[in-house]
Amino acid sequence: MKDRFKVMSLVGARPQFIKLAPLCRAIEQFNARGGVQIDHFIVHTGQHYDHGMSDIFFEELEIPRPDLNLGVGSGKHGAQTAEMLKGTEDILLQEKPDILVIFGDTNSTAAGALAAAKLHIPIAHIEAGLRSFNRDMPEEINRVMSDHLSDILLAPTPTAIENLKREGLADRTESSGDIMYDTVMFNTKLARQKSTLIQDLQLEGQSIALATIHRAENTNDTQRLETLLNKLNEFADHHLPVVFPMHPRTKNMLPNVLPDWKPSPNLRVIEPVGYLDMLALIDHARLALTDSGGLQKEAFFLNTPCITLRDETEWVETIQAGGNRLAGADPELIDAAIADWAQRWADQTPDFTEAIHEAFGRADSAEKTIDAIVRFLEKSLPETEKVA
């Protein structure tokens, strides 16, 4: 009789560490119940490697150290994904997990999906079914491919479930709720207690806004990047001071493409921050301006209005609830979104609780994910090996 399952998680980029944290906790809780046990093997592709983009999340979120780091690092899409594919295949062959868990939509996700599918190792995809319907985004290609190769599709929202159904994937779909909501709920109180960033920036008692920009569609297009950076300066000068933890992609790009751009003294460009500082910033901010997928959700979870600096979003429920507005990199749309924010939210805090629960669940996504994985694995066992 099989009394242990081996689950391998594959991560590589910042948002994936944040999604892995609640899964590790749910596995610990599952094992503590007794009965069948899960051996959890964590592989880091090395896609993100700076301390502030990687290790800090393992430390703060108390994620077990990865069992293996493939050390792939940065590179062009094909080269980076190929390195990951090779490394993941080797480790899958060596460790022979019962299932591979992949997260989100990065190149690490796609490499994991392809490696496991070719070896006939089942795949669980966390954050399945998200679609921007824009194939210019590398993430969209990674998502579509990963969903179609996976066996368990953990869909965070009703829209994601609908998207998967439309693609003929309904029978593999599980409504899991959003795993980042688990992370936010678990850490917000801790962030309020521990983070000193707002004081360190001497912004205590002041209203602020928070900005992030890292998407290829914004950073690789100099015109878009310049518009966005100038709009942030303008907002910081006319509305609120803005804290801008800059992604290394954007930081590395700037001296080459916009050597003369300078932040206004009210636009506080800082290094990427750890998760607790980030939560403290979101919690404290009156507005988030971002092209990040995760930050759109986290702002919503913490009742912070958001302006999304992209032409489309996968998180349509945040828009429908009035917590988020799309503005792309269009100066007029950005101005209109800011005017709307100023009128509605500059002086009061919204409450999105009901819409959050309706769209993203109840912060028990990791537990639902583990249940779905164990159910799947037990069902796949030959009759003689089924757990009593």
13 touches ligand UD1 by CB under 6 A:
yes
> Can you state the angle between helices 275-284 and 293-301, rounded to 10 degrees?
60
Provide the b/e sequence for 279-291 (b: ≥16 CB within 10 Å).
bbbbbbbbbbbbb
Which CB, 92 or 106, lies closer to ligand UDP?
A: 106
Name the strands in the sheet holding 285-290, side by side, starting at the edge strand that comes first in the sequence. Answer: 267-270, 242-245, 208-212, 285-290, 306-308, 324-326
The site that binds ligand UD1 (CB under 6 A) totals a number of residues, namely 18
Radius of gyration of the chain (CA): 21
What lies within 8 Å, CB to CB, of 60 at 6+ separation is 274, 275, 276
Q: Which does 212 bind (CB under 5 to 8 A by kind): ligand UD1, ligand UDP, none?
A: ligand UDP
User: Which one among 18, 20, 85, 228 touches ligand UDP, defined by CB under 6 A?
Assistant: 18
Q: Which does 172 bind (CB under 5 to 8 A by kind): ligand UDP, ligand UD1, none?
A: none
Separation between Cα atoms, residue 155 and residue 277, nearest integer Å: 28
Q: How far is the CB of 166 from ligand UDP (least distance, A)?
A: 23
365 and 177 Cβ atoms separated by less than 8 Å: yes
Which CB, 222 or 252, lies closer to ligand UD1?
A: 252
User: Which one among 45, 47, 176, 218 touches ligand UD1, defined by CB under 6 A?
Assistant: 47
50 touches ligand UD1 by CB under 6 A:
yes
**57-96 footprint of ligand UD1 as x/- string (CB under 6 A):** -----------------x----------------------
Q: Which does 285 bind (CB under 5 to 8 A by kind): ligand UDP, ligand UD1, none?
A: none
Separation between Cα atoms, residue 40 and residue 28, nearest integer Å: 9
Q: How far is the CB of 214 from ligand UDP (least distance, A)?
A: 6
Listed ranges 10-18, 127-135, 262-270, 295-303: which one lies at the site for ligand UD1 (CB under 6 A)? 10-18
Which CB, 27 or 288, lies closer to ligand UDP?
A: 288
Element at 6 (helix H, strand E): strand 4-11
User: Which one among 252, 320, 353, 380 touches ligand UD1, defined by CB under 6 A?
Assistant: 252
Subset of residues 241 to 280 that bind ligand UDP, contact rule: CB under 6 A: 245, 272-273, 275, 278
Listed ranges 12-20, 124-132, 163-171, 235-243: which one lies at the site for ligand UD1 (CB under 6 A)? 12-20
Separation between Cα atoms, residue 223 and residue 238, nearest integer Å: 22
Q: How far is the CB of 261 from ligand UD1 (least distance, A)?
A: 18
Q: Which does 298 bind (CB under 5 to 8 A by kind): ligand UDP, ligand UD1, none?
A: ligand UDP
- Out of 214, 239, 247, 284, which one is annotated catalytic? 214
**Number of other residues whose CB lies within 10 A of the CB of residue 144:** 17
* 40 bridge partner residues: 7
Q: Which does 138 bind (CB under 5 to 8 A by kind): ligand UDP, ligand UD1, none?
A: ligand UD1
DSSP-assigned letters across all residues of 29-43: HHHHT-SSEEEEEEE
- Burial of 352 from C-beta contacts in 10 A (0-12 / 13-18 / 19+): buried
Distances in Å between the Cα of 198 and the Cα atoms of 204, 234, 264 are 6, 21, 18
14 touches ligand UD1 by CB under 6 A:
yes
Separation between Cα atoms, residue 82 and residue 111, nearest integer Å: 7
120 is catalytic: no
Catalog residues that contact ligand UD1 under the rule CB under 6 A: 13-15, 47-50, 53, 74, 105-107, 138-139, 214, 248-249, 252
Catalytic residue numbers?
Answer: 214
Catalog residues that contact ligand UDP under the rule CB under 6 A: 14-15, 18, 212, 214, 245, 272-273, 275, 278, 292-295, 298
